[in-house]
Amino acid sequence: MTAGRVEPGEVAAVPARPVVRVGAPTERRNPRSVDLDLMSTRDVLTVINEADRRVPAAVAAVLDEIAATVDLAVAALRGGHRVHYFGAGTSGRLGVLDAAELAPTFNSPRHWFCAHLAGGPDAMWRAVEDAEDDHRGGSAEAADCVGPGDLVVGLAASGRTPYVLGALAASRAQGASTVLLCANPEAEAAGSVDVFIGVDTGPEVVTGSTRMKAGTAQKLVLNTFSTAVMVRLGRVYSNLMIDMVATNAKLRGRMISILMEATGCAEEVCRRALHEADGDLKTALVSLVSGAEVPAARAALARAADQVRGALDLLAS
């Protein structure tokens, strides 16, 4: 056989592709589901549901670590920096989802939360599995967009995804704070980040299918984390989303409902206040609660860095 040429009857050699055997808890077999394919539909659902019940308790066990991450994010955003999510597969898609929902829910600036997905935007719709093995790619992407003072949250069910670990290493070198969120309390990378969130969800019902319990846990943690950040930044008054963007009829109606709930005023009064405030929910709210005219409410919000509680304190004094 001539080098570089396949002769008739010969088979071309196929380059060996890297193989990694992951020892994370998410890759172990779940003894409760070993006969899953022999069960009735109802029993399959029961096994999955019973396994899912473990997730909230596992998240509750890492609330201190989530709180530390919230504090880092609040400090970063107040300092003019950003929060980044780096992930692959299900973990990365959940990061994209969380970041995408913050602007319409809390009217947060779109540059505050940046989601990075191994394989790029196409990986939202189809698996780009080899992309998660690209340590250099994650490192290069982080080096290109992460700055000193930013917060970088790595999302990896196993805690060992090369793309994510590459991004975290490069982010540390850039002077960013780093967090690793995973479903592997035993992850070796735990000691190389500022905050480690290892949610102990255990083996999956379908072995290795981390879109299940591990993914559910990451969704819960991300929801908890980002919502708490928005609360700490004053984008919630009481338990009302006062910074929402009213982009449709339902949300415009919700703005009226929020004003009614927050002030106890009649619907017509709230409609009029919102109209006088040019549709600005916060201004209308401060005006109604304090009794101040709209211009005074708007000025107080400006002096209080757009914080409702601070504006009300100013007007009360």
Give the C-alpha separation, 34 to 206, whole Å: 9
Closest CA to 291 of 316, 267, 310, 266: 316
Q: How far apart, in whole angstroms, are the C-alpha atoms of residue 243 and residue 142? A: 30
Alpha helix locations (H) across the chain?
Answer: 41-52, 54-60, 63-78, 89-106, 135-145, 162-173, 213-232, 249-263, 267-276, 281-290, 294-303, 308-316
Determine the residue type at 92. Answer: G
- Is residue 55 within 8 Å of 214, Cβ to Cβ? no
Known active-site residue 141: no
Closest of 284, 59, 28 to residue 158, by C-alpha: 28
How would you list the strands of the sheet with 151-155, edge to edge?
113-117, 83-87, 151-155, 177-182, 195-198
Buried b (16+ CB within 10 A) or exposed e, 161-186: bbbbbbbbbbbbebebbbbbbbbbbe
Other Cβ atoms within 10 Å of 237 Cβ, number: 22
101 flagged as catalytic: yes
Residue 195, beta-bridge partner list = 179
Contact 70, 226 (CB under 8 A): no
Catalytic residue among 65, 101, 261, 276: 101
16 phi, psi to nearest 5 deg: -70, 135
Q: Which residues are catalytic?
A: 101, 132
